[in-house]
Structure 1
């Protein structure tokens, strides 16, 4: 599976993972696309917008409460665990589009959440932020200032937190190996991260059962799932280092 890079393993000191919904789907968390993206006959991609929130904040919060319940019950899979284990052999940074916190649960110590976190909420007007690990009642919840609270996530059409994005670009630009796992690379600007790595002559590996828009730019394409592939990569590091 990883034979093409086996002789390069000792050269990979800085590894960056770019992860997406595919790796979380293997833990039972639905994706936005396909049949998984339907909730009570609503298109999830249309619910994850600021316009949908202001049009019907109670509906959007009901959806996020259900997502929170699902995510809180989910456990890291062997793909998440393998990424955390790689920290024994190299400097590993995870740049994730997922909001579920499963990378942190698996033990990864350097995780940049590009699209925020479902456990965090913030005021739609003031600077109030909080982390809540229980179900949110009295929907939509209100801030002390009287305005509506919202999930502290990046919705379609919103900008990424600039400090997080700047750090992500910096890590991508300096890595020796970038592994793109479980993401279709259609969401901007996260889909530009492999370009920064390529400019640094990093080796690019794509792990995805399906082709993506950037498959042709990869040094190695693995058409299997993250849970199946990544433990084998860890074994390779164990044997070589």
Structure 2
């Protein structure tokens, strides 16, 4: 009796393997959703989907007047607010709900109140810094722009919808909370600068990359800002640095 049971189980396993059921199959990759009909739908959907995610890895480049600044880090949405850790030009910054911390070149950490200026951003406070890298905030800053071209593109191995947009600098300035940034946008508009943006949206309607360019009347690039987003919902921890 015992030998027959073993034989039956072995036969069942072989039959399942032959049918392709012996090993679990991986989940299918997320599918790319339909393209947005206009900029309002694009901004609303991509920002809302980004807001729903627990965490994201970001990298950004800001090139202006011949100088380029790079930063990278993690953003975490916690019950107490948006928590942030980033590194820019050798300066590390940690932003918590009630305070921020910074250090340069691996030195001693300094504590900052939310209203203090950011060591890596002369025109932003500690409390404002998450808006600089939050994918939802970056996408929402393009509200009122006009989509002039759409295409499908595989970007870094990810299928995306690519949207090319014309940005109204005055509308963007009106939607900007930071007074210094608002003044910069209005000055660019009065100087006749042209603003364009390209947004890549991947599976789940999540932004993958956002590129914004300011062009002068002479058709030269004055500023180029690129944000990249990846590793959605990764296991991210942001805490106060050890004393």
TM-score, normalised with respect to structure 2: 0.27
Report the structure, 1 or 2, having the larger helix content.
Answer: 1
Higher relative contact order (CA 8 A, sep 6+): 1
TM-score, normalised with respect to structure 1: 0.28
Report the structure, 1 or 2, having the larger strand content.
Answer: 2
